């Protein structure tokens, strides 16, 4: 659950960074609404961490700062690319949650419920970004995003 919490910190920051430089008011509002939903996910993950007797990642401030900067860079490339970044991010998160669901103990129904709702919301974010004109990102960018996510999730697991 610590990894999911760190991911929600990063997602919220990405959206904040992107919203900061969005050109179209409708895109900015979409990003801010998605960031609010990520805030809900963050709270759910924090509650599960507490219930499980665990703690958030010690690197959460780094995840937020780095992700806000990445989000702003994606946003500076233009709204359609920024929306493409959202689509790709959320598709990767969907897969990440699938992996967590597969490894989650069967008796942890509370965590499963949180993850399933988060996954539904992430899929909706991707779909809405695509509907608003997202462009598909080049394969090297998608690969770099996967590599960055792997670095974050591995670090958050231990720290």
Whole-number pLDDT of residue 91: 95
- Categorize the per-residue pLDDT at 66 as very low, low, confident or very high, splitting at 50, 70 and 90: very high
For the chain, what is the mean pLDDT? 95
Distance, in Å, from the CA atom of 17 to the CA atom of 72, rounded to the nearest integer, reads: 4
Distance, in Å, from the CA atom of 151 to the CA atom of 57, rounded to the nearest integer, reads: 13
Distance, in Å, from the CA atom of 42 to the CA atom of 63, rounded to the nearest integer, reads: 13
Q: Would you say 71 and 10 are in contact if contact means Cβ atoms under 8 Å apart? A: no
pLDDT digits (tens, 9 = 90+) for 3-57: 999 999 999 999 999 999 999 999 999 999 999 999 999 999 999 999 999 999 9
Whole-number pLDDT of residue 54: 96
pLDDT digits (tens, 9 = 90+) for 71-125: 999 999 999 999 999 999 999 999 999 999 999 999 999 999 999 999 999 999 9
Q: Which DSSP letter does residue 104 get?
A: S
Candidate CATH numbers 1.20.1260.10, 2.40.50.140, 1.10.760.10, 1.10.1040.10; the one for domain 2-158: 1.20.1260.10
Whole-number pLDDT of residue 120: 96
In the chain, where the domains are located: 2-158
Distance, in Å, from the CA atom of 53 to the CA atom of 25, rounded to the nearest integer, reads: 42
- Categorize the per-residue pLDDT at 143 as very low, low, confident or very high, splitting at 50, 70 and 90: very high
Whole-number pLDDT of residue 87: 96
Residues 6+ apart with CB under 8 A from 132: 26, 27, 30, 83
Phi, psi of 138 (to 5 degrees): -60, 150
């Amino acid at each position: 659950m610590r990894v999911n919490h760190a991911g929600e910190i990063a997602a919220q920051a990405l959206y904040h960074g992107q919203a900061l430089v969005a050109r179209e008011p409708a895109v900015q509002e979409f990003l801010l609404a998605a960031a609010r939903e990520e805030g809900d996910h963050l709270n759910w993950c924090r509650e599960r961490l507490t219930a499980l007797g665990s703690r958030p990642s010690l690197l959460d401030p780094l995840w937020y700062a780095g992700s806000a900067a990445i989000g702003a860079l994606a946003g500076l490339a233009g709204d359609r690319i920024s929306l493409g970044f959202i689509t790709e991010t959320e598709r990767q998160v969907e897969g990440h949650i699938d992996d967590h669901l597969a490894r989650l103990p069967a008796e942890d129904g509370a965590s499963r419920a949180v993850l399933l709702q988060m996954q539904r919301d992430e899929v909706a974010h991707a779909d809405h970004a695509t509907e608003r004109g997202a462009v598909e990102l080049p394969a090297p960018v998608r690969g770099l995003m996967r590599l960055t996510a792997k670095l974050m999730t591995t670090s958050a697991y231990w720290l």
